[in-house]
């Protein structure tokens, strides 16, 4: 399951949708909005995406994770639009027979999302706002 959504992400229901009796491990990663960045208080964030490409890249990451790691399935959901501190911006759920592959696949997926999925966040502070740019 790979999605871009505008509404809050419920990682618990993602987990329930994915886990099967043959699984021995489920690893859930949630990225959440911090209330501080660059030494300033963050009021909220806005995420913008090149949606068609972002979904295509998330699907590629999911397919690669299934091929490279001994996992049974993976779900990735990224939220767009305005998010307040404490809200979940991205959730990854990996299910596998054993924990090592689930941890490895989950780590691979979040690292790849931060490198190749065309999504950008704008941080809004009390005194202004900036687009965050990843490393080149």
Partner 1 sequence: MSIRVLFFATIADVTGKREMKLDASAHANVASIYSRLAQECPGLEARRASVLCAVNSEFARPDSPVHDGDEVAFFPPVSGG
For the segment 15-44, give every residue that binds partner 1 (CB under 8 A). 31
Q: Is 127 in the site for partner 1 (CB under 8 A)?
A: no
Contact 22, 95 (CB under 8 A): no
How far is the C-alpha of 109 from the C-alpha of 90, rounded, in Å? Answer: 11
Task: Give the contact letters, 39-78, x = binds to partner 1 (CB under 8 A), - = no.
Answer: --------xxxx-xxx-x---------------------x
**119-125/40-49 β-pairing:** antiparallel
Q: State the maximum Cα–Cα separation within the chain, in Å, rounded to a whole number.
A: 52
Per CB under 8 A, 128 contacts partner 1: no
Exposure string for 16-44, b = 16+ CB within 10 A, e = fewer: eebeeeebebbbbbbbebeeeeeeeebeb
120 binds partner 1 (CB under 8 A): yes
Cβ proximity to partner 1: between 72 and 113 the closer is 113
Question: Minimal distance in Å, beta carbon 17 to partner 1?
Answer: 22
19 versus 107: smaller Cβ distance to partner 1:
107
Tokens of 74: 């993976």
Binding residue count for partner 1, defined by CB under 8 A: 29
Instruction: Return residues touching partner 1 (CB under 8 A).
Output: 31, 47-50, 52-54, 56, 78, 89-90, 110, 113-122, 131-136
């Amino acid at each position: 399951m790979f999605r871009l959504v505008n509404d809050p992400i419920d990682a618990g229901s993602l987990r329930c949708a994915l886990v099967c009796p043959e699984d021995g491990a489920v690893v859930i990663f949630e990225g959440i909005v911090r209330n501080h960045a660059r030494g300033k208080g963050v009021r909220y964030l806005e995420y913008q995406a090149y949606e068609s490409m972002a979904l295509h890249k998330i699907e590629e990451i999911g397919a690669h994770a299934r091929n490279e790691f001994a996992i049974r399935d993976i779900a990735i959901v990224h939220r767009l639009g305005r998010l307040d501190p404490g809200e979940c911006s991205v959730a990854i759920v990996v299910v596998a027979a054993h924990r090592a592959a689930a941890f490895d696949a989950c780590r691979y997926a979040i690292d790849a999302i931060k490198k190749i999925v065309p999504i950008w966040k704008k941080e809004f502070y009390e005194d202004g706002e900036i687009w965050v740019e990843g490393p080149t």
